[in-house]
Chain A
Amino acid sequence: MVALRAVTDVARPGHSELAVLVAEARAGDRSAFDALVRRTWSGTYALAFRLTGDAEDARDVCQEAYLRAYRGLRRFRGDARFTTWLYRITANCASTHLGRRRRHRHEELDDDLELSDLSPSIDPVGRSESASLRDAVQKALAALPPKLRAVVVLRDIYDLSHEVIAAELGISVSAAKVRLHRARHRLRDDVFLRSEAEGRSHDDVDRPAV
């Protein structure tokens, strides 16, 4: 049985620390690149997992992303954060990976994401409400078609610009905006409207017949 641990980019590495490592890695220091991987892999994996919705795919995407980053490190000019640059590469790898997968298997990736919460907030009431909303949002995200999921993950979770998203997914900016529009509507429907409709139908069942 494989030991699992929760990874997150909560413990975000310092940007200056990363910048020093990037400079050393660009100068050819492989151990500096290994240190960069150690500090960033959990966040990269989390993004890959959110984009693909599958642990094995995320693993492949993550590996491919670091290979590309290693090969392309000399092209990294340092005008963006290293993690943002890495996220762009990861998004691009995930897009390629999912495209290849669809061509070969003709299937949609919509496995349920099972995410765990290891850092509960202090307020128990707010926690239970926000936790249930978070669960609902994660389920709705997992149920989105991969193309819609990719734009909403990159825009609303990782705060990338429309232009960057379009470039990394190989689509036009207007297509990225259209996909985001549709994704947000579908999430709203799944998270709020469907649960309300289900709540109403439960009420109807519970109400005694007159």
Chain B
Amino acid sequence: MTMSTVLPCDRLVELMPDFLDDPGLLSCEEMEHFAQCLRCQAEMARFRRLRRTLASLRHRPVPADHGIFDDILEGLDSAAERRERHRVASRRAASIVGLAAATAAGVGGVLVLATRRRSA
């Protein structure tokens, strides 16, 4: 009886996608089966070929409208403008709050002085 009748090929084929990332995934028994079984080797070759082809796609051209570059820059410009407007608005609000606080403090001071003078 050969190993390939003991270990079903289907089980190994099921493991093959993970085996690509982790060659230590198979047990010694499974490795032994793999070394003997042409069907499993052919399946593994398919997965490896698939992965090589996928890796080769990284540097393949993709059709694109060159206007995308301009759109990206426009988007960045708009974001920068929005940020600047927000910064100016925040600064203006802070100035108004500061002015209001100073006015309130001044009015408060005048009131205190007036009250003291009256009581004196």
Q: Which residues of A contact B (CB under 8 A)?
A: 2-10, 30, 33-34, 37-38, 41-42, 45-46, 49-50, 55, 59, 62-63, 66-67, 70-71, 114-119, 130, 133-134, 137-138, 141, 152, 155-159, 162, 177, 180-181, 184-185, 187-188, 191-192
A6, A37, A38, A181: the one contacting B64 at CB < 8 Å is A6
Would you give the 0/1 interface string for B64-91, flagging 1 where the beta carbon is closer than 8 Å to chain A? 1111110111011001100000000000
Known: A5-B66, A188-B46, A192-B46. A115 touches B55 (CB 8 A): no
The 4 tightest CB contacts between A and B, nearest first, are: A6-B61, A184-B17, A156-B54, A8-B61
Determine the interface band of chain B, counting residues with CB < 8 A from chain A: 20 to 34
Q: Which of chain B's residues 1-50 have a Cβ closer than 8 Å to chain A?
A: 17-18, 20-21, 46-47, 49-50
Known: A134-B53, A156-B54, A187-B50. A3 touches B76 (CB 8 A): no
A34, A50, A181, A191: the one contacting B50 at CB < 8 Å is A191
Is B92 interfacial (CB 8 A cutoff)? no
Pairs A–B under 8 Å by Cβ, sample size 9 = A3-B66, A30-B76, A37-B73, A59-B68, A133-B49, A157-B55, A157-B57, A162-B21, A177-B18
Alpha-carbon separation in the docked complex, A117 to B71 (Å): 25
Q: How far is the CB of B4 from chain A (nearest CB, A)?
A: 20
Q: Which residues of B contact A (CB under 8 A)?
A: 17-18, 20-21, 46-47, 49-51, 53-69, 71-73, 75-76, 79-80
Interface contact A118-B56, CB-CB below 8 Å: no
Q: How far is the CB of A32 from chain B (nearest CB, A)?
A: 12
Specify which chain A residues have a CB less than 8 angstroms from the CB of B63 in the assembled complex. Answer: 4-7, 114-116
Alpha-carbon separation in the docked complex, A187 to B48 (Å): 12
Interface contact A38-B69, CB-CB below 8 Å: yes
Interface contact B73-A117, CB-CB below 8 Å: no
Q: How far is the CB of A36 from chain B (nearest CB, A)?
A: 11
Specify which chain B residues have a CB less than 8 angstroms from the CB of A4 in the assembled complex. Answer: 63-65
Alpha-carbon separation in the docked complex, A127 to B67 (Å): 32
Specify which chain B residues have a CB less than 8 angstroms from the CB of A159 in the assembled complex. Answer: 55, 58
Interface contact B54-A157, CB-CB below 8 Å: yes
Interface contact B64-A66, CB-CB below 8 Å: no
Nearest-neighbor residue (CB-CB) of A190 within chain B: B50
